[in-house]
Structure 1
Amino acid sequence: MSKNTIDYEALLPNIPYEDVPIPKRIHQIFLGKPADQLPDAMKENVQYICRINPDWEYHLWSEEDIDSFILGHYNKEILRYFRMISPDYRAAQADFLRYLIVYSLGGVYLDIKSSMERPLDELLLPSDRNIIYHWNNDVEGCYKGASDTTLIYLEIASLMVSSIRASSSPAQGILSSEP
């Protein structure tokens, strides 16, 4: 490897893979405003999601959680790359953050506008280790889930770091953050 080449995967922890079911954790992200400013319709949806998934841990990640999460599970360099994504691109920030969250904690990620008609226990199989699912409904959304340390999330996060670094405008960061 040349002096100018960066091993992006080395920036991320290499957590040993465990062949376990997807942890019962639901993650959603709301950036740009404090979590207590979540619009009423979204608050009602969060309550609904929690109500139909009573055995699942729920976490709404907000602006206030970013530094402590990234520094607690990753490092200052990953936080620096996160901060290189302009706040004008909140969706890209949320994408990067969700890959970091699902890689280190596992669980199911739902877009903040997403909902569901049935509980996750009825949708996921005990043999599921990684799912990526998209559907169209009244509020378009998707969910992505993984058992802790699924390598695809490590690869996606390292590709995003590489993309952010290679961006012609560090203030802009990345324009496309979907794999």
Structure 2
Amino acid sequence: MDLSRYANVTWPRQRVPRVIHQTYRTYDIPAIWNTSVQSVITMNAGDFKYRRWSHADMDAFVQQHEPHFYRNTFVNYRYDMQRIDSFRYVLMFYLGGIYIDMDNGCHRPLREFVATMEALDPDSPHLALFPAEDTFGVQTDFVAPPSYKHIVTHS
């Protein structure tokens, strides 16, 4: 769907929390991602809070919010990427907002984009935005739900 045709739509009901989440092993990110990360922060300053999650932060968040899953599954994953992917789901379930991989940047602010998405179907409890995927599945390098908890409890 081309959301640009709905440019400048405003809607008073903000359903997606105005926070952008990004993750990396530590708070010091590789220089290769400085430009993309800075574009996300700069383009959205004032409209969105920004939160970077380290692996230690991710671990603590999952342990706090999903202790059974943490003990029985999360810590037993063989690969870090499995923990990172599952953290995204737990994070979006509880907090919502926008998750963007660090190698994705912004060329325009997300304000109008998110407001347009919220206005397209203002009464639907099912609101989430994922990028198009050519293969079978759902891409999670950019995700923008109110919170998965909201979606799951209203399904």
Normalising by structure 1, we get a TM-score of 0.61
Q: Secondary structure at the match of 1:49?
A: helix
Partner in structure 1 of residue 144 of structure 2: 145
CA distance in 1, matches of 2:131, 2:93: 17
Aligned partners of 1:21, 1:96: CA distance in 2, in Å?
Answer: 23
- Are 1:59 and 2:47 counterparts? no
The whole-number CA distance in structure 1 between the counterparts of 2:152 and 2:63 is 21
| Cα separation, 1, equivalents of 2:94 and 2:65 | 7
What value does the CA root-mean-square deviation take over the aligned residues?
Answer: 2.8
Misfit runs of 4+, over 6 Å: none
Alignment of 1:46 with 2:45, yes or no, is: no
Tell me which amino acid in the other structure corresponds to 1:144: V
Structure 1 unpaired stretches of 5+: 1-18, 136-140, 156-179
Q: Which residue identity is paired with 2:74?
A: F
Structure 1 residues 152 and 91, CA, compared in 2 at 3 Å: closer, same or farther? farther
Rounded to whole Å, the distance in 2 between the matches of 1:28 and 1:96 is 14
**Paired residue for 2:7?**
none
Aligned identity (percent) is 26
8 Å Cα contact 1:130/1:150 also seen in 2: no
In structure 2, what is the equivalent of residue 170 of structure 1?
A: none
Please list every run of 5 or more consecutive structure 2 residues that lacks an aligned counterpart in the other structure.
1-12, 121-126, 134-139
Query: Residue type matched to 2:62 in 1?
Result: I
Shift of 1:65: 0.4
Q: CA deviation at 1:72?
A: 2.8
Contact 1:134 1:143 in 2 (8 A): no
CA distance in 2, matches of 1:69, 1:41: 27
In structure 2, relative to structure 1, the CA distance for the partners of 1:152 and 1:132 (3 Å cut) is farther
Q: Give 3-state SS (helix, strand or coil) of 1:93's partner.
A: helix
- The alpha carbon displacement at 1:58 in A equals 1.0
**Correspondence 1:1-179 to 2 at 5 A:** 21-31=15-25, 34-36=26-28, 38-54=29-45, 55-75=47-67, 77-80=68-71, 81-86=73-78, 89-124=79-114, 125=116, 126-127=118-119, 129-134=127-132, 142-148=141-147, 149-151=149-151
Which structure features the higher share of strand residues? 1
TM-score by length of 2: 0.69
How far did 1:142 drift? 3.4
